[in-house]
Amino acid sequence: MKAESRSGHPFAAAAHWNLEQSYENQPRKGNKKRRTREKQENTRLPIRTATGIVRVPNLPSVATLDEDAEPVSNDEEDEDEKDGIDPSLLSLPPAAPVTAEKLLPLRERVIIAKEELANIATLINEDPEENVGLLKRLKEISDDAAVQIRILAIGTMLAVYKDLIPGYRIRALSEGEMRAKVTKEVRKVRGFEQALVSGYSGFVKLLGGLAR
């Protein structure tokens, strides 16, 4: 036989034929994807053109679109949601804490403010150098939202500064002058004068703003 003469053995041709059959029976790469694609193409609806020819649209499958589509990040979604919106409206500042004093009726708040202002004025007049820091508290009260309390604070500040301002000229010291070595008594006087200059400057600015 020719097969035997070529192979040299009667089982060689059979073995070769079995290998070919096993190779043919092996699953091909991409067969599954091709069958899925063909199945999807068969399920598409035909379209009749103006010439009467029926065509099947060659549209990508949903699976292909899902594979090719890029995932949308959370940052992009946030940017889409914020598009056209003022960022300042999206991040509102925290509300100021409401104190128990602000919850009181205005009449009671005015009475409390009168008592505190009188106490501050008394302490400053008794020992100006020791209690000069209370000038900051007077400034805080003058910034109250209630007009009645602001008027009381400004009147108190006017009387206090009238008594505190010395007969000699004082000025704001430079950083070098503040770092200079002086005696404890001189340092105390300088601290009082600098606090007085700072407080009085703020009081003048307050009056200037009200005069506009």
Q: Is the pLDDT of residue 195 over 90?
A: yes
Q: 188 in a domain, yes or no?
A: yes
Residue 110 included in any domain: yes
Mean pLDDT of 14-24: 51
The whole-chain average pLDDT of the chain stands at: 73
Neighbours of 11 (CB within 10 A): 10
Q: What percent of the chain has pLDDT over 70?
A: 52
Q: In terms of pLDDT, which residue wins out, 27 or 168? A: 168
pTM beyond 0.75: the answer is no
Q: What total number of domains does the chain contain? A: 1
Domain that holds residue 122: 106-211
CA dihedral 128→129→133→137, nearest 10 degrees, is 0
Instruction: Return d(Cα 153, Cα 143) in angstroms, integer.
Output: 9
Average pLDDT, integer, range 202-209 = 93
pLDDT digits (tens, 9 = 90+) for 21-53: 555 555 555 455 555 555 555 555 555 555 555
Sign of the CA dihedral running 95, 99, 103, 105: negative
Least confident range from 4-18, 123-137, 155-169: namely 4-18
Question: Could you tell me if residue 32 is inside a domain?
Answer: no
* Inside any domain, residue 64: no
Residue 12 lies in a domain: no
Q: What is the average pLDDT across 127-135?
A: 94
